[in-house]
């Protein structure tokens, strides 16, 4: 077997010296070695959750894979989930062990996006997510400032959350919720928290889903709810240098930037501890008044769709003779 091929945990690993992507600055071996080094930290956040992955094949654009390919080994656990948008069952992987993770690595799966609910409790997300997306070219500090608005909005209703880098330019605030929380309640509470954070400093944060309406402010995205997925803590991202979505303590946010956490730096940081497990608060019940407030707030994506159509009609009318 050549140096470009190995077998680990019964999985044949091939073409390890190939570059992952033109601007990744990393090889397939770098990806495999990283995922193997951190599998004990990453797998707890993937286990038992339908998984989507972002793959990058040679000569092709990256793509998100939900449905397992037909050549998937029989030993890869899977679950069937009905997809309303495409009106079909999708066979999702359950990445529960090192062997499955290595198989995905050999498939050049770089990013790992589990659902917010587990396979045994569909419709009951384990976390609320507020995704903080700073404007193009903005300093990371504005995302940090927006995260602190979310933290204050949480504290105002007696909730607590933890924060991680997205692995791109923003931050994710996660709020563990108890098992009684339904997807509808979680979505409503997330909308209410986003609006509350926006109101704390409307010059900094916005809930405007349409990009042109954000006015250089940080977008507090409340749409990751229901059956949504989120890139897992410790997952690489397919960007230059292969950054990693990494947990950060609230008091440490001013001292870091997303580029501090890559496939080359993270293994040493998690060698003897799981920082995400140490930062997440225990599951919490949602205040009834928060959920009720959220039920009165339109879903941002749907509202934006209707507004986009209205603006298109207005433009066509203005252009008519």
Query: With a threshold of 0.85, does the pTM exceed it?
Result: yes
Phi, psi of 278 (to 5 degrees): -75, -20
Give the structural domain span for 199: 127-226+282-307
**pLDDT tier for residue 237 given thresholds of 50, 70 and 90:** very high
Q: Which CATH number does the domain housing residue 273 bear?
A: 3.90.920.10
**pLDDT tier for residue 320 given thresholds of 50, 70 and 90:** low
Verify that 115 and 11 share a domain, yes or no.
yes
Verify that 218 and 160 share a domain, yes or no.
yes
**pLDDT tier for residue 305 given thresholds of 50, 70 and 90:** low
Verify that 190 and 70 share a domain, yes or no.
no
Q: Which residues contact 35 (CB under 8 A, 6 or more apart)?
A: 42, 101, 102, 104, 105, 236
Q: Which CATH number does the domain housing residue 197 bear?
A: 3.30.70.3300
Verify that 97 and 72 share a domain, yes or no.
yes
Domain annotation covers residue 257: yes
Domain annotation covers residue 234: yes
Domain annotation covers residue 316: no
Q: Please check the confidence at residue 226 and state whether its pLDDT lies above 80.
A: no
pLDDT at 84: 75
pLDDT at 304: 61
Q: Please check the confidence at residue 306 and state whether its pLDDT lies above 60.
A: no
Domain annotation covers residue 266: yes
**pLDDT tier for residue 119 given thresholds of 50, 70 and 90:** very high
Verify that 292 and 174 share a domain, yes or no.
yes
Per the prediction, the chain carries an average pLDDT of 93
Verify that 12 and 80 share a domain, yes or no.
yes
Q: Please check the confidence at residue 245 and state whether its pLDDT lies above 90.
A: yes
Verify that 27 and 157 share a domain, yes or no.
no
Q: Cα separations (Å) of 209 from 19, 69, 218?
A: 36, 33, 11
Beta bridge partners of 79: 92
């Amino acid at each position: 077997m050549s140096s470009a091929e190995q077998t680990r945990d019964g999985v044949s690993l091939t073409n390890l010296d190939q570059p992952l992507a033109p601007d990744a600055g990393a090889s397939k071996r770098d990806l495999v070695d990283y995922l193997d080094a951190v599998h004990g930290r990453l797998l707890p956040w993937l286990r038992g959750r339908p998984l989507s992955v972002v793959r990058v094949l040679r000569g092709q654009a990256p793509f998100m894979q939900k449905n397992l390919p037909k050549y998937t080994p029989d030993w890869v656990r899977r679950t069937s989930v009905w997809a309303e948008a495409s009106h079909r069952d999708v066979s999702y992987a359950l990445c529960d062990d090192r062997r499955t993770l290595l198989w995905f690595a050999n498939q050049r799966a770089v990013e790992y996006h589990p659902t917010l609910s587990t396979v045994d409790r569909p419709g009951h997300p384990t976390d609320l997510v507020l995704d903080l997306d700073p404007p193009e070219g903005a300093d990371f500090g504005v995302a940090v400032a927006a995260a602190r608005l979310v933290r204050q909005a949480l504290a105002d209703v007696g909730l607590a959350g933890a924060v991680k880098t997205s692995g791109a330019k923003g931050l994710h605030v996660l709020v563990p919720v108890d098992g009684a929380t339904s997807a509808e309640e979680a979505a409503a509470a997330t909308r209410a928290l986003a609006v509350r954070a926006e109101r704390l400093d409307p010059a900094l944060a916005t809930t405007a889903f349409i990009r042109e309406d954000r006015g250089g402010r940080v977008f507090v995205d409340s749409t990751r709810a229901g059956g949504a997925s989120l890139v897992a803590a410790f997952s690489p991202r397919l960007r230059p240098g292969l950054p990693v979505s990494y947990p950060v303590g609230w008091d440490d946010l001013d001292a870091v930037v997303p580029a501090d956490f890559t496939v080359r730096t993270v293994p040493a940081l998690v060698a003897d501890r799981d920082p995400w497990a140490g930062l997440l608060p225990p599951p919490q019940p949602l205040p009834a008044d928060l959920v009720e407030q959220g039920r009165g707030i339109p879903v941002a994506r749907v509202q934006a769709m209707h507004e986009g159509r209205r603006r298109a009609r207005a433009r066509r009318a203005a252009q008519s003779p």
